[in-house]
Amino acid sequence: MNVGILGYGYYLPELVVTNQEIAHRFNKDGSWIEERTGIQERRRAGKDISTSDLAAKAAFAALNNANLTPADIDLIIVSTTTPDMLLPSTACLVQNAIGAHKAAAFDIAAACSGFIYGLDIAATYLLAGRYNKILLIGADTYSKITNDEDLHTSILFGDGAGAIVLGEVPKEYGILNSTLGADGTGWELLQVPAGGSRLPLTPNLLDAHSNTIMMSGRAVYQFAVKIFEETVRELLDKSSINLDRISLIIPHQANKRILQSVSQRLEIAPEKIYCNIEKYGNMSSASIPVALAEAYENQKIRSGDYLILIGFGAGLTWGATLIRSNL
């Protein structure tokens, strides 16, 4: 049995926030942000819009693309680090919102690697025969946990959601291999310190913005470039396939300079690494499924193409999946 993608979809909030709107707060020009990140604009959810709202819209889009209904789904997995609330899970809220009442549902929290972790979990369940069709969603609203007064993080993040439906596909197609990794010694490099059991929120912590993203930018950048290259090479070696057979690499969209650096290290053309960060910024768990859906829509992927999806982020975590497209 082979398992793979049956349908894809995504949803982005309507509000567009340009570089200039952010840069003026720091007495800088919008080009300053683009030169350092590749980002020109990003989407932002309204105050009354939650992660589950975006996720449900992406789910409907993926189901429609797969020509399926919510009743066909056995399991919903939502990758997010900006859940609507601590409990219940965002996946349960999505289940209710789309009417997938026979589906089990749970969240995973592996930050920008979360969609890849979810893909590996979903494939394992399907291959074991536990479920027939799984809805996997990557959704985040990082605007809700970003400090607008922090120059180094407020320029990076956008909101969005992407989804895929997974199930059985023809032989020799679908998910062929994957690899996951983590290094907990780097947990302090990218974190939201307060709001959990280690550091419950207090008025003083709120005043200090300790409930927002804090990042050691240079160290995270160095980690991302190194682990991106190493993980691609590891996956290719495990799969006994050469890099020149890969039609497209779809990575987490963290920083355009990361993608450019890795293309040089791998000695591949820049266009073989899909990039849409200029339009959306870093959407954490949503970045890979949105880029995947967009690549299909833009006819960058054909049936039979070999793809690598790769994520890396807080934890530190990383992972990659090799897919032969059946769509």
* Residues identified as active-site: 112, 252, 282
Cα–Cα dist 93/108, whole Å: 14
List, in sequence order, every residue forming a beta bridge with 18; answer none if it has no partner: 41
Distance separating alpha carbons of residues 43 and 292, to the nearest angstrom: 18
Give the residue ranges of DSSP H helices in 48-106: 51-65, 90-98
d(CA 282, CA 39): 9
Backbone torsions φ then ψ of 165, nearest 5 degrees: -105, 130
Count H helices and E strands in the chain, helices first: 11, 13
Q: Give the DSSP H or E segment for 225.
A: helix 217-239
DSSP letter, residue 86: S
Phi-psi region of 200 (alpha: psi -120 to 50; beta: other; left: phi over 0): beta
Q: Which residue has the tokens 């790769």?
A: 310
- Give the count of beta carbons closer than 10 Å to the beta carbon of residue 94: 32
> Could you identify the residue written with the tokens 């006819």?
299
β-partners of residue 16 are: 43
CA distances from 251 to 120, 155, 168, 175, 221 (A): 16, 20, 24, 16, 14
Would you state the structure tokens that stand for residue 217, as one six-digit string? 């930018």
- Given a contact cutoff of 8 angstroms between Cβ atoms, the answer to whether 11 and 54 are in contact is yes
Dihedral sign computed on CA atoms, order 145, 280, 284, 226? negative
